[in-house]
């Protein structure tokens, strides 16, 4: 007598597009992470909404430049969350206005919208995280200099020097 359906591996679920977190059986670590802390492809982040869009742009750019590894992945996700929060709050502020009317016991008074403070805090946190990945102009020069110094050596350079002797 059959015991039910055959289990489908997580890799097959990813290929089919049915890789929802509730259906995954293996650990929640990205399947594309190798042992050397370098990424073979951009892993899934678990972000939603605006933060997911920011991650798609920033994560892809950092991955293509070779600046994204498994150790820095959580910081990139934190940066994307902060920028997503900032964009969401600014979008709501554009609709509601920068000030709100608050009723007091002496009448109405005008106050700064609390969402502005949330947006400012998210932007300052994102700026602090952005410096680590070369996302600000000053840190970009520093990071590009580090990447330029780490240019991979040509595997056949040693053979060329032998021929010249």
Burial status of residue 55 (CB atoms within 10 A of its CB: 0-12, 13-18, 19 or more): buried
Burial status of residue 22 (CB atoms within 10 A of its CB: 0-12, 13-18, 19 or more): exposed
Per-residue pLDDT reduced to its tens digit, 126-158: 988 888 777 777 777 776 677 676 656 666 666
Task: Indicate the pairing of strand 99-104 with strand 107-112.
Answer: antiparallel
What is the pLDDT, as a whole number, of residue 11? 79
> CA–CA distance from 146 to each of 127, 136, 152 (Å)?
20, 15, 12
22 has pLDDT over 60:
yes
Please state which of the ranges 53-62, 84-93, 146-155 shows the lowest mean pLDDT: 146-155
Contact 85, 122 (CB under 8 A): yes
Q: What pTM, to 2 d.p., does this model score?
A: 0.60
Per-residue pLDDT reduced to its tens digit, 93-128: 999 999 989 998 999 999 999 999 999 999 999 988
For the ranges 29-43, 81-95, 134-148, the one whose mean pLDDT is highest = 81-95
Contact 143, 133 (CB under 8 A): yes
């Amino acid at each position: 007598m059959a015991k039910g359906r055959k289990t489908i591996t997580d890799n097959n679920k990813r290929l089919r597009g049915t890789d929802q977190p509730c259906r995954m059986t293996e650990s929640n670590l990205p399947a594309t992470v190798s042992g050397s802390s370098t990424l073979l492809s951009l892993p899934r982040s678990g972000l939603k909404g605006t933060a997911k869009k920011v991650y798609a742009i920033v994560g892809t750019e950092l991955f293509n430049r070779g600046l994204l590894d498994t150790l820095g992945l959580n910081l990139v996700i934190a940066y994307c969350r902060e920028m997503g929060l900032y964009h969401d709050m600014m979008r709501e502020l554009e609709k509601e206005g920068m000030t709100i009317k608050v009723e007091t016991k002496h009448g109405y008074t005008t106050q700064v919208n609390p969402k502005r403070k949330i947006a400012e805090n998210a932007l300052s946190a994102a700026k602090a995280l952005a410096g680590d990945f070369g996302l600000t102009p000053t840190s970009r020069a520093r990071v590009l200099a580090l990447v330029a110094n780490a240019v991979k050596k040509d595997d056949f350079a040693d053979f060329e020097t032998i021929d010249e002797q």
